[in-house]
């Protein structure tokens, strides 16, 4: 298990190194030093600021030297650069956004995983029943519904209509940090959690149902039943464990992507997370923040995939051999 984890971690580090090379090539190469300095400084920067950026980033040096200082700042000094638009380090800007996105995504992930897997298992076990038809129909409805439509619908029902009738249970937009008020933090995240969870759970319901139905038709399941094992043990101990492999794979992809920024949900609910920050950075051409978000989002995807590989090894020991 240790060797397996070391190999996967080394592969993740290699992927992150390739990401830094690609980011550097896209944002720093292909144009002159003045052009790069102007893009980083912003359109309203003074000539003195542009010259200062050229000196700090060694933009007048060869490309390999520029990349060395770029990676040195990132790895050794844990610096994502300086945001000249906000006049503060990029890490300071992102530290305000990361807790918001993490609170949103991790809370929603627990809900969608519980709903999706549970409903998928029940649909597979009771194939053809009323529950099966109802859950698959609801899954199709939510799977086809755009995120912003569901978000606005929940705001209309649980914020606008409730407020009109004197029930102020949920805030309309914004985010309250947990350290300020745990109750307001929870109340402000319920609707965004449901928006992400209901749409994501639809895919997990369909995936769990189809995979579990396929697994329950395998020979070893029939053998387990022939040995006299209870149906509950056959399904949950033997069938579900094998059926969860593709579910875990999909979960790792979804979690990593959303940790990089749940853009639509954050925009609908006015939550200044990574997605909201990325949109604002693109609109204002704030290049250092864009670079920082790209690196953070790539790191989230890599870490999520390493955790998925670790879950693979737990669910199926044969994976450890590769």
* Complete domains list, the chain, with CATH: 2-90 (no CATH), 92-321 (1.10.3720.10)
Phi, psi of 284 (to 5 degrees): -95, 5
pLDDT in tens, 1-14: 677 778 878 888 89
pLDDT at 214: 83
pLDDT, residue 322, reads 52
Query: Which residues, including other chains, have CB under 8 Å from residue 239's CB and lie 6 or more apart?
Result: 212, 215, 216, 221
Pairing mode, strands 88-89 and 82-83: antiparallel
**Which pLDDT score is estimated for 287?**
81
CA 234 vs. chain centroid, Å, equals 33
Task: Please state, in angstroms and rounded to a whole number, the distance separating the CA atoms of residues 42 and 36.
Answer: 10
Phi, psi (deg, nearest 5) at residue 88:
-160, 160
Q: Is the confidence at residue 320, as pLDDT, over 70?
A: no
- pLDDT per residue as tens digits for the range 226-251: 877 777 777 777 777 777 878 888 88
Are the CB atoms for 46 and 37 separated by under 8 Å?
Answer: no
- Which tokens belong to 107? 């809370």
**What pLDDT is stored for residue 142 in this prediction?**
86
Distance CA 202, CA 138 (A): 8
* Residue 298, both tokens: 């790539």
As a whole-number percent, the residues of the chain with pLDDT over 90 amount to 4
pLDDT in tens, 86-115: 778 888 888 888 889 989 999 999 999 899
Q: What is the pLDDT of residue 159?
A: 84
What is the distance between the alpha carbons of residues 309 and 306, in angstroms, rounded to a whole number? 5
pLDDT band for position 30 (cuts 50, 70, 90) = low
Separation in Å, CA 57 to CA 23, 32, 48 = 15, 13, 14
- Residue with the larger pLDDT of the pair 44 and 67: 67
Taken in order 101, 104, 110, 115, is the CA torsion positive or negative?
negative
Within 13 Å of residue 305, how many CA atoms lie on the same side as its CB? 17
pLDDT for 193 equals 93
Rounded mean pLDDT, 38-58: 71
């Amino acid at each position: 298990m240790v060797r397996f984890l070391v190999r996967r971690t080394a592969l993740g580090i290699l992927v992150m190194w390739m990401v830094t090379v690609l980011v550097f090539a896209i944002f720093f190469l292909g144009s002159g030093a003045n052009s790069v300095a102007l893009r980083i400084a912003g359109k309203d920067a003074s000539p003195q600021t542009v010259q200062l950026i050229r000196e700090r980033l060694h933009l007048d040096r060869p490309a390999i030297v520029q990349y060395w200082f770029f990676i040195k700042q990132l790895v050794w000094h844990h610096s994502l650069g300086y945001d000249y638009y906000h006049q503060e380090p990029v890490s300071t800007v992102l530290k305000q956004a990361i807790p918001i996105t993490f609170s949103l995504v991790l809370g929603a992930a627990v809900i969608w995983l519980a709903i999706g897997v549970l409903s998928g298992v029940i649909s597979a076990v009771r194939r053809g029943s009323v529950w099966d038809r109802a859950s698959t129909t609801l899954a199709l409805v939510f799977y086809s519904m755009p995120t912003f439509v569901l978000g606005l619908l929940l705001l209309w029902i649980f914020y606008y209509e409730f407020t009109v009738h004197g029930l102020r249970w949920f805030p309309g937009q914004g985010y309250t940090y947990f350290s300020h008020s745990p109750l307001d933090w929870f109340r402000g995240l319920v609707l965004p959690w449901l928006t992400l969870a209901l749409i994501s759970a639809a895919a997990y319901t369909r995936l769990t149902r189809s995979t579990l139905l396929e697994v329950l038709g395998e020979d070893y399941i029939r053998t387990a039943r022939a040995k006299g094992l209870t149906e509950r043990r056959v399904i949950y101990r033997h069938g579900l464990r094998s059926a969860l492999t593709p579910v875990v794979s999909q979960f790792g992809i979804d979690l990593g992507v959303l940790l990089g920024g749940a853009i639509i949900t954050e925009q609908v609910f006015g939550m200044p997370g990574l997605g909201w920050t990325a949109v604002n950075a693109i609109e204002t051409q704030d290049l250092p923040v864009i670079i920082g978000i790209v690196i953070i989002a790539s790191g989230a995807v890599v870490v999520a995939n390493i955790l998925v590989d670790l879950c693979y090894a737990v669910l199926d020991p044969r994976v450890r051999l590769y």
